[in-house]
Amino acid sequence: MQTDLESWLAAEESAGKGDLRSANVMRMCALASVLAAAESAILVGDAIQAKRKLEKLKRYTAMTLARLTDTGGSAPAAVGEDQTITTPTGA
């Protein structure tokens, strides 16, 4: 199973090739993965991890919205596990 970061990067690759449908599917996979991780953290009572995952979900959601609305700006490409945000080369 891919991590959310791998799913997101695969989405960017698909989008770069013009396959927006596949890109959107991969973005939804990334969102679902982060949501599941946040839910798991909440259920086991790990508030710190839950907060981190929910903040990451918020960033991924914002990036997905930017891609879907095609703002034309240089939106970040992915959110790493260490919460760093990377941008595609040439962006």
- Mean pLDDT value of segment 10-22: 89
**Do the Cβ atoms of 49 and 41 come closer than 8 Å?**
yes
pLDDT interval class at 9 (50, 70, 90): confident
Report the 10 Å Cβ neighbour count for 77.
Answer: 18
pLDDT interval class at 5 (50, 70, 90): confident
> Which of 12, 51, 46, 49 minimizes the C-alpha distance to 29?
12
Whole-prediction pTM value? 0.70
Reply yes or no on whether the pLDDT at 89 is more than 90: no
Q: Express each pLDDT in 31-85 by its tens digit.
A: 999 999 999 999 999 999 999 999 999 999 999 998 888 755 455 555 665 656 5
Q: How far apart are CA 49 and CA 2, in angstroms?
A: 20
Per-residue model confidence (pLDDT) at position 69 = 85
**Do the Cβ atoms of 82 and 8 come closer than 8 Å?**
no
